[in-house]
Amino acid sequence: MTALPLDTANQAGPDPAAGRRPRRRLSGLGLPIYVALALVFLLIPIGYTFVFSFNDSVKSNLAWRGFTLEKWLTVCNEPGLCEAFGNSILVGVVATVLATALGTAIAIALVRYRFRFRSSISLLLFLPMATPEVVLGAGLAAQFLALGTQKGIVTVILAHTMFCISFVVVTVKARVAGLDPALEEAGRDLYGSAAQVFWRITFPLLLPGILAAALLSFALSFDDFIITNFNAGSVDTFPKFIYIAAARGIPAEANVIASAVFILAIAIVVVSQVSRAARQKRLDRLS
């Protein structure tokens, strides 16, 4: 095979791949830019809330008047704010405990047992998730009115428990369906009673799904406004307080509580992820 002279090789034309490399670099930047813009768009309201929690506001919190730490130190000076926040915590905790206990039992029954109307019950459990909240809230309010029940903290807890059960059942049901029955059979073979098998084998295996369902239930309850507004009567919760105060500018003290809740949620996620990574690392070392 005869080699081409050097000048002939240079006259063969430019490399086609050379022109494609810059285009590939530009196309590869498209997704990171899109993700960065989406994150900025999502974080703008959170950043605004955090920044204006340090605003030296007087009556309105719509304009920046200067930096101060006073709002973080005197957060309960705003009338009704801490009471509304406490009501939201109370409703969220009680509704979460009730919905998690009932939803877990329902999920286990739907997966493990065969009974009449089982498929119909599974379908009906999705209705609160698919029904618009305004319809659900108005229906519950009409029901409480027909029963002559006075609206207050109890009716809010009952309403939140009702719509949170569906989310708990869906979350725990997936965990129950993935549970290996052979583990429970091994416990029964070792002469364990039904209660011992449940609390020592079944419950620890279901615990991650139950905790996830409980966190989801609490977040939904704490954040809800529409159903709460229909069934709370004169009782204020944190979302109701924010809605009423938004007309004149949400007070900086409310921004303080919102920022603290966000920081706490981020801290919980980070701690759980770090502990999970450390646990996985220990398991990898043992294996």
CA-nearest of 238, 254, 264 to 85 is: 238
pLDDT of residue 20: 57
Q: What are phi and psi of 179, to 5 degrees?
A: -80, 135
257's tokens = 């509580």
pLDDT of residue 277: 86
pLDDT of residue 195: 85
Number of other CB atoms surrounding residue 254 within 10 Å? 25
At residue 32, the 3 state secondary structure works out as: helix
For residues 39 and 43, what is the distance between their CA atoms, to the nearest angstrom? 6
Local confidence pLDDT in tens for the 287 residues of the chain: 455 554 544 555 555 555 555 566 656 677 888 888 998 898 898 888 889 889 888 777 877 888 888 889 888 888 888 999 999 999 999 999 999 999 999 999 998 888 888 888 888 888 888 888 899 999 999 999 999 889 999 999 999 999 899 999 999 998 888 888 888 888 888 878 888 888 888 888 899 899 999 999 999 999 899 999 999 988 999 999 988 888 777 888 888 998 999 899 889 888 888 888 888 888 788 76
Is domain 91-236 in CATH 2.40.160.20, yes or no?
no
pLDDT of residue 225: 93
For residues 256 and 71, what is the distance between their CA atoms, to the nearest angstrom? 7
pLDDT of residue 9: 47
Residues in a beta bridge with 67: 55
